[in-house]
Chain A
Amino acid sequence: MKSNKPILVIDDDVIDSMTVKRAIKDCNYTNRVDFARNGEEAFAYLNNEENEKPCIILLDLNMPKMNGIEFLEILKKNERLKRIPVIILTTSRSDQDRLKAYNLGVAGYMIKSMDYSEFVEVMKTIKSYWSISELPE
């Protein structure tokens, strides 16, 4: 994970977004964090040539307008965007959601922890993993 590339967080819950932002900060990420409140906004962001392509997407599943699964279905058909690692960050522990997500090639599936400190640990793990893992340009 290139430290200079942005991280895109797609989540409709402001506090959840805040949590991600704070956790990233607590994990000493240097990356810029951008937010979208649903799939549609995310595509608006991604398709905007001015925006740099994010190095990782943290995606919530339950969102208005375009939910996480719908977003993934479109994303994975997009030649330019489909290789961006997508990690699901959700409260849903539904087997169905998990199955759908992995069928659409997600890089990880994290349950949003009740406990903030646990959440920070999750973020740290993500950071450390994707720091090592090489990505195609």
Chain B
Amino acid sequence: MKNRLIILLILFLFLIPLVSNAQIIPDLSDCFVISANIDTAVKLVNKGISDIGFSRNDRPVKRRFNPIKDFVDDPNLWLSINGQLVMIAVVVILFFIIISFVSKLRNLSREVKNTSEVYKKLFTNQTIKLRKDNKQYREEIEELLKLEKKFRNLQKFNEDLKGLSEKQKQLQEAVENMKLGVTITDVEGLIKYTNPAFSKMLGYKSSDLIGKKMNILIPEVLGEPNTYKNKEVWQNLVKKNSMMKKDGNLISIQSLSNLIYNDRGKPIAIVTSAEDITERSKSEESLIKSEENFRRIFDNIQDIYYEVDIDGTIKEISPSIKFITGITREELIGNKMASLYFDVKQRNNFVSALKREINVNDYEIALKGKDNTSVPCTITAKLILDQSKIPSKIIGSVRNITERKRAEDKRAQSMKELKIANKELTDFAYITSHDLTSPLRAINTIATWIMSDYGDKFDDQGKEQMNLLIGRAKRMHHLIDGIYEYTNIINFNGEKVSFDMNKLVKDTAGKMKLQDNFFVEIKNQLPVVYFEKTRMEQIFENLIDNAVKFMDKDKGLVTIGCQETRNNWEFSVADNGPGIAKKYQEKVFQIFQTLNTRDELESTGIGLAIVNKIITKHNGNIWIESEPGKGTTFFFTLPKKEIIKK
């Protein structure tokens, strides 16, 4: 405050001369000076006042000067202020005000400055402190992190350790329970451990084996002390050998051994896993045997087994193919099946048939033989479809049918020859019947003429001989007729027609001009049949004729009946004649067989042979039931399919 007063005083002193001599500063244009007295009447104004719109001269106003109010509200007042002092006072006041303001500002600034200094100091200290703290914290955190990491590792390690022991436990359990036998021996072969499977496999308890030498279990190395000398052989050693069970039986073992080393790389133990393969060996053996068997069959079959791709490439073919084509199996595999055919078209046809029918049996083809000859064969094959039903391959067998063909040809030839022979026989019978008949008739005719022309010239013996001659000629004629008829049945088939057998029997009997004391009766209704009518007539004509010829009763009776069975019609023709002894019953159906001499009873012995022939030709049967004195019944059957119209 003291300072302020001093400055103010100085300013005041300085200003007095200045203000008292207003003229000195009249031309200060950039400021105006008002000189006023104490009552603030304006005494002097310099030029500068004009710049604010006043004239120095025209405002010589003596008035009181309210510096603020007047300046602001009424500039005119300024001019009324009298006296310089007033003015100076105002200036001084203003000055003081300014000074005090400035001082205040300075103080304020100082204060601010001081405060800021304090804060700055404080802040700086604080920052330093913070920096320090930060570093410390970082170090601490790093430390902590390190620790945490260590901790984590430790934890993991711990867990691993726990896991490991768990694993070991599991492994041990697995080894204990596995089916595979496991044993651990030391490098000298002393058993240190066996799992139950191993000891069980050999019929021991694990405790029986521990401490024993492994050698005692293996007969082939029993008593060889140096087995374990060369330890390296145990590395990944796979063996198949026999082991002896406790009961002395041998089993087949397949084993895998490995060496275990310690930290320093020194082998300390041998771990062996072993499996009883006795059963497997047996089945393998039998499999091999059966495979061998099949291979032997495959190698030796006469037929040719083959497999081809769908494009016709041979995948497998049995070696027997060589016998036909002269080409070996090995040469053929991979080649086209078509190359084996005599005519490739045949294979195309065969494959189309196979694709159509999947299975084809006994399909006739011809393969190309050794000298380009055609070898007749049959194929039986099957088209193999894959899962999506698309043909994938053909498997089949080929059979050489050369021999069969030869036999067939031979048979066909024989058949042909037989037919020719048969034809010749028929022709012979026909020619015989004609050509023998003519001279026979001539003999007969001329003998008749001699008898009629010269009969009176013969004595009784001559007449008898002539009659015998004519009789024998007639008999011969009948025999020839019989042969002709008989051969006719074999060789000619007549036309089949439908007819009522009741009527046929009546008509046949009617035609035979039977004696008045001979009767033919129908016991029950006969069927309507579809058959060769003349042959049926022949059957009844001959059977009735047979009854007539041998009839020994006054009243002859033939009874005709029938019976329907499942497949046949059975007919019976019974007479009341003398009957036929058992021993002759077979003979009656033989051609030219008669039971009486022909002189006693004129008979050709052909009638029943003809009946037999007709019936057997139509797949029927004929037989006799007869006893001497009780008549004879002829039975015959004809299959329905032969005598019923379809």
Q: Which residues in A have some Cβ–Cβ distance to B below 8 Å?
A: 13, 15-16, 19, 22, 62, 91-95, 112-117, 119
Contacts and interface: CB of A to CB of B under 8 A. Distances in A.
Contacts of B473: 114
A91 B430 contact: no
Nearest to B446: A15
Contacts of B437: 91, 114
B444 A13 contact: no
Interface of B: 430, 433-435, 437-438, 440-442, 444-446, 448-449, 473-474, 477, 484, 492
Contact of A91 (B438, B446, B449, B474): B438
A15 B445 contact: yes
Given A114-B474, A115-B448, 20 more contacts: A13-B438, A15-B441, A15-B445, A15-B446, A16-B438, A19-B445, A62-B434, A91-B433, A91-B434, A91-B441, A92-B434, A112-B441, A114-B440, A114-B444, A114-B473, A114-B477, A115-B444, A115-B474, A116-B445, A117-B448
Contacts of A119: 445
A112 B438 CA distance: 9
28 contacts: A13-B442, A15-B441, A15-B442, A15-B445, A15-B446, A16-B441, A16-B442, A19-B442, A19-B445, A62-B434, A62-B435, A91-B433, A91-B434, A91-B437, A91-B441, A93-B484, A95-B492, A112-B441, A113-B441, A114-B437, A114-B441, A114-B444, A114-B474, A115-B448, A116-B444, A116-B445, A116-B449, A119-B445
Contacts, number: 41
Nearest to A61: B434
Contacts of B441: 15-16, 91, 112-114
B587 to A, nearest CB: 28
B139 to A, nearest CB: 141
A68 to B, nearest CB: 12
Nearest to B445: A116
A112 B445 CA distance: 11
Contacts of A94: 430
Closest 10 CB pairs of A and B: A15-B442, A116-B448, A91-B437, A116-B445, A114-B477, A91-B434, A19-B445, A114-B441, A13-B438, A114-B444
A93 B480 CA distance: 12
Nearest to B478: A114
Nearest to B430: A94
B602 to A, nearest CB: 14
Contacts of A113: 441
Contacts of B435: 62
A112 B437 CA distance: 10
B449 A22 contact: yes
Contacts of A95: 492
Nearest to B451: A116
Contacts of A91: 433-434, 437-438, 441
Nearest to A14: B442
Contacts of B442: 13, 15-16, 19
Contacts of A92: 434
A6 B97 CA distance: 205
B472 to A, nearest CB: 12
User: Considering residues A92, A115, A116, which has the most beta carbons from chain B within 10 angstroms of its beta carbon?
Assistant: A116
Nearest to B470: A115
B493 to A, nearest CB: 11
A92 B435 CA distance: 10
A83 to B, nearest CB: 30
Nearest to A112: B441
A22 B435 CA distance: 22
Contacts of B492: 95
A22 B438 CA distance: 17
B308 to A, nearest CB: 58
Nearest to A11: B438
A115 B448 CA distance: 8
A120 B637 CA distance: 44
Contacts of B430: 94
A7 B444 CA distance: 25
A130 B437 CA distance: 28
Contacts of B474: 114-115
B453 to A, nearest CB: 10
Contacts of A19: 442, 445
Nearest to B476: A114
Contacts of A112: 441
B437 to A, nearest CB: 5
Nearest to A117: B448
User: Considering residues B433, B438, B446, which has the most beta carbons from chain A within 10 angstroms of its beta carbon?
Assistant: B438
A68 B441 CA distance: 20
A15 B473 CA distance: 16
Nearest to A12: B438
Nearest to B436: A91
Nearest to B473: A114
A6 B477 CA distance: 33
A115 B527 CA distance: 39
Nearest to A94: B430
A34 B344 CA distance: 73
B317 to A, nearest CB: 58
B237 to A, nearest CB: 99
Nearest to A60: B438
Contacts of B449: 22, 116
